[in-house]
Chains A and B, each alone.
Chain A
């Protein structure tokens, strides 16, 4: 309302002027001058040590609420969990907890917190903070979408749904200020990895209770991670400053780190190439049409990570209730053409759902490109040559790459099977609700692994999982996954999970995988070090270092006028 008031003031001023002169021409210079008063908010600002182009403006930086990977990278710089991710392998390494013990049956974890771990404001971080943070995620009023990451803890699920009112019954027990005992529902081999996940990060109780939803805007904001939040200017930049009280502060090089939000691939690339940014790392900001050229550059880095692009069939709808139809459709997808011509960033055609590269798990084979068998299967199902096959829709979220894939799929199915697919491009919320409400025939989907374990992929197709919106319910699958997760022997576990995945991608096929994502990020290797490529696509800020920071300064001075102009204070 203040804004409106100032606008009113501003225009009533110009009106008076107009009355005197009685020509429109004279208002214009006034408006022009006034526009510079509106810019009055400019202030000088220190230059950051590291600038990262990070993807769209984060919806939130609250660890309990964040759901977008790009946002979580900033959150992880601010808040730390009991463990954190090894920058090289993305396996759990000690974070706020310096060590932990696991009981022989794999149910009880005992964490020992560092005694030198403190908030950025100086108070010690204790087990009470951990328990508060976790219960906050589970609290029905927080309504954390990722609360499921804590359901491996005893009674957590019931507490989250409100069935259990007594927080004390949740399986987290404070032994003393620095010892925490966690009781799980069943052996969970990846629980230490989960503790590094941002949802389980430790957050400041007092600040949250005082400021409510806007607690991240509090000054000072106590953080548990290697950085503190300097400021958050919407759509402009998020600046974090090294937390000098952090237990690992000695190993953190960059003092000020800027995250620039960007939604335009072209702009992001231009900024990066103009050396306005050191790192460009959001997948949505990579222009895939140019990857054949960009991929040759030494500053383009490609790697595998845990992400699968796949397609769901709504098996409650005819004709997709027939597994032969699903198989026929899956076998006519020329995945090689899609990754080579459309996505172009080094993606791999996928025939199985759990991505390649996990040390503890290898997927069973699924179906590749086989149009001849597909035609036979379709004929067996009663639609020889696509005859009588009803027109169906392929649902996807509006976006360039997805649109191109849809066009390719349409042509492939039409030309090979003679069936008519209609492209249904929906804006994001319509797409989500249509998927969730099973209001689709075939739908595009993708899944990014949360932790380095096949379970992060396989559990979503269990009958009771909220993310299994295909209509597919298979008792045998549920049992295999459950039984597998109960195994303490990794080899036996792998066997069970493989059988489950065979059901998913070979026998029943409620989904068909298309390709595995490939990570792409840009940084100049002669300037930056400490970025490693791992399956979780995580690159913790604390390990990123500038090589030779002196040399860069002189380079900046030599730089083009573009550099100097835009480096001027805002």
Chain B
């Protein structure tokens, strides 16, 4: 217990500063903070299994076109076939192989999730941290800006952006790259639209945390010692809210992936015959009824999404624990 009291806030310094040789501060382990974090990470079983799962998934997603002889958009006569040795995940209304579509769908969904996570990390955290740290009028203005963006339905942005720029972008991509690149033009606006909404709540949460942290003793102490604001923010405050940032990221990713399915349902998301997990789930959901259920259409894409998110969650937890300065003795 006493050790922990000793180690509380100052460890933040030891972990992130390169100017001190790690050994002087942490002679006990003779390891850099990153190495120690990595060690902690490896000890967490769920996190390791999750990272293996995600690696395999990414490999399959990238290599699937080479492995499978089914194409994601080739129709066939075998409509609504339940899973069999030929079609492991069964087939859909057009007789397309669902396994292949699920792997192709993973690409878009994972990119969408990553874009959402990246934007909310980059803009959301910066915005929220600055607002919370500076406080006062600046905070007020910045947060009202977030409110304004939050209040305006993102669907409007997507439609306006699409109608205003899609055509030009398409021709531009078609000329400078390839026709297939042009096909992804509509996706760009999807990403922008989703990115625009993904960071708003993150910034609110970060701001709330920073507000609560900025008047704590260790921050006051650093201020008294003459540390710059940037330094206080990045070295003292942010490390203390890594946890909540990672947790909220793991909430953002599924929310964005599912929001994309809603946009697809409205005709604003992925364009058929492309698939995303969201659109596959939306298609599968229509098959839930009291008369007959083509269960594979919902179970497999839904299961893939759930498994991936679960893995990301555990991975997030593992990373969070590994890099949490206070986690050492847990």
Direct contact of A and B (CB under 8 A): yes
Interface residues of A (CB under 8 A from B): 266, 269-270, 273, 287, 289-290, 293-294, 341-342, 391, 397-400, 403-404, 406-408, 410-411, 420, 422-427, 430
Given contact pairs A420-B179, A426-B267, a sample of 16 additional A-B residue pairs in the complex whose CB atoms are under 8 Å apart: A266-B286, A266-B288, A289-B286, A290-B289, A341-B79, A341-B93, A398-B268, A399-B267, A407-B273, A410-B73, A410-B273, A411-B74, A425-B267, A427-B266, A427-B268, A430-B163
Q: Assess the A287–B289 pair: CB atoms within 8 A.
A: yes
Query: Does B231 make an interface contact (CB < 8 A)?
Result: no
Query: Does B183 make an interface contact (CB < 8 A)?
Result: yes
With a cutoff of 8 Å between Cβ atoms, the chain B residues found around residue A289 in the complex are 93, 286-287, 294
Q: Assess the A411–B292 pair: CB atoms within 8 A.
A: no
Beta-carbon nearest neighbor of B265 in chain A: A398
A293 to B290, CA, bound (A): 11
- B279-318 residues with Cβ-Cβ distance < 8 A to A are 286-292, 294
A408 to B93, CA, bound (A): 10
Q: Assess the A427–B159 pair: CB atoms within 8 A.
A: yes
The total number of A-B Cβ pairs within 8 Å is 66
Q: Assess the B289–A406 pair: CB atoms within 8 A.
A: no
With a cutoff of 8 Å between Cβ atoms, the chain B residues found around residue A398 in the complex are 266-268
Q: Assess the A342–B93 pair: CB atoms within 8 A.
A: yes
Beta-carbon nearest neighbor of A288 in chain B: B93
Beta-carbon nearest neighbor of A400 in chain B: B286
Given A270-B290, A289-B286, A407-B75, residue A423 in contact with residue B272 (CB < 8 A): yes
Query: How far does the Cβ of B260 sit from chain A's closest Cβ, in whole Å?
Result: 14
- Give 23 A-B contacts (CB < 8 Å), ordered by A residue: A270-B290, A287-B289, A287-B291, A290-B289, A290-B291, A293-B291, A293-B292, A294-B291, A341-B94, A342-B93, A398-B266, A398-B267, A399-B267, A403-B272, A404-B94, A411-B94, A422-B183, A423-B272, A423-B273, A424-B271, A425-B267, A425-B272, A427-B268
Beta-carbon nearest neighbor of A410 in chain B: B273
Query: How far does the Cβ of B271 sit from chain A's closest Cβ, in whole Å?
Result: 6
Interface residues of B (CB under 8 A from A): 73-75, 79, 93-94, 159, 163, 179, 183, 266-268, 271-273, 286-292, 294
A397 to B267, CA, bound (A): 8
Most buried by A among B74, B266, B288, B289: B289
With a cutoff of 8 Å between Cβ atoms, the chain A residues found around residue B159 in the complex are 427, 430
Beta-carbon nearest neighbor of A265 in chain B: B286
Most buried by B among A270, A406, A411: A411
With a cutoff of 8 Å between Cβ atoms, the chain B residues found around residue A406 in the complex are 272
A415 to B73, CA, bound (A): 11
A427 to B156, CA, bound (A): 12
A188 to B39, CA, bound (A): 88
Q: When A and B form their complex, which 9 residue pairs have the shortest distance between CB atoms, in order from nearest? A: A398-B267, A411-B75, A427-B267, A425-B267, A407-B273, A290-B291, A423-B272, A403-B272, A293-B291
With a cutoff of 8 Å between Cβ atoms, the chain B residues found around residue A430 in the complex are 159, 163
Given A398-B266, A403-B272, A423-B271, residue A408 in contact with residue B94 (CB < 8 A): yes
With a cutoff of 8 Å between Cβ atoms, the chain A residues found around residue B94 in the complex are 341, 404, 407-408, 411
Query: How far does the Cβ of A3 sit from chain B's closest Cβ, in whole Å?
Result: 16
Beta-carbon nearest neighbor of A430 in chain B: B163
With a cutoff of 8 Å between Cβ atoms, the chain A residues found around residue B292 in the complex are 290, 293
A430 to B268, CA, bound (A): 11
Beta-carbon nearest neighbor of B287 in chain A: A289
Most buried by B among A269, A407, A430: A407
Query: How far does the Cβ of A184 sit from chain B's closest Cβ, in whole Å?
Result: 43
A308 to B103, CA, bound (A): 37
Beta-carbon nearest neighbor of A406 in chain B: B272
Beta-carbon nearest neighbor of A434 in chain B: B163
Beta-carbon nearest neighbor of B162 in chain A: A430
With a cutoff of 8 Å between Cβ atoms, the chain B residues found around residue A269 in the complex are 289-291
Query: How far does the Cβ of B325 sit from chain A's closest Cβ, in whole Å?
Result: 28
Query: How far does the Cβ of A295 sit from chain B's closest Cβ, in whole Å?
Result: 11
Q: Assess the B93–A391 pair: CB atoms within 8 A.
A: no
Most buried by A among B93, B94, B267: B267
A290 to B80, CA, bound (A): 12
A396 to B217, CA, bound (A): 62
Query: How far does the Cβ of B114 sit from chain A's closest Cβ, in whole Å?
Result: 24
A290 to B271, CA, bound (A): 25
With a cutoff of 8 Å between Cβ atoms, the chain B residues found around residue A425 in the complex are 267, 271-272
A196 to B73, CA, bound (A): 48
A273 to B272, CA, bound (A): 33
A427 to B75, CA, bound (A): 25
A57 to B298, CA, bound (A): 29
A262 to B289, CA, bound (A): 16
A290 to B286, CA, bound (A): 11
Beta-carbon nearest neighbor of A270 in chain B: B290
Given A391-B179, A398-B267, A425-B271, residue A407 in contact with residue B290 (CB < 8 A): no
With a cutoff of 8 Å between Cβ atoms, the chain A residues found around residue B73 in the complex are 407, 410-411
A200 to B272, CA, bound (A): 42
With a cutoff of 8 Å between Cβ atoms, the chain A residues found around residue B286 in the complex are 266, 287, 289, 400
A410 to B94, CA, bound (A): 12
Query: How far does the Cβ of A139 sit from chain B's closest Cβ, in whole Å?
Result: 33
Query: How far does the Cβ of A398 sit from chain B's closest Cβ, in whole Å?
Result: 2
Query: How far does the Cβ of A34 sit from chain B's closest Cβ, in whole Å?
Result: 24
With a cutoff of 8 Å between Cβ atoms, the chain B residues found around residue A422 in the complex are 183, 271
Query: How far does the Cβ of A271 sit from chain B's closest Cβ, in whole Å?
Result: 12
A430 to B266, CA, bound (A): 12
Query: How far does the Cβ of A151 sit from chain B's closest Cβ, in whole Å?
Result: 34
With a cutoff of 8 Å between Cβ atoms, the chain B residues found around residue A294 in the complex are 291
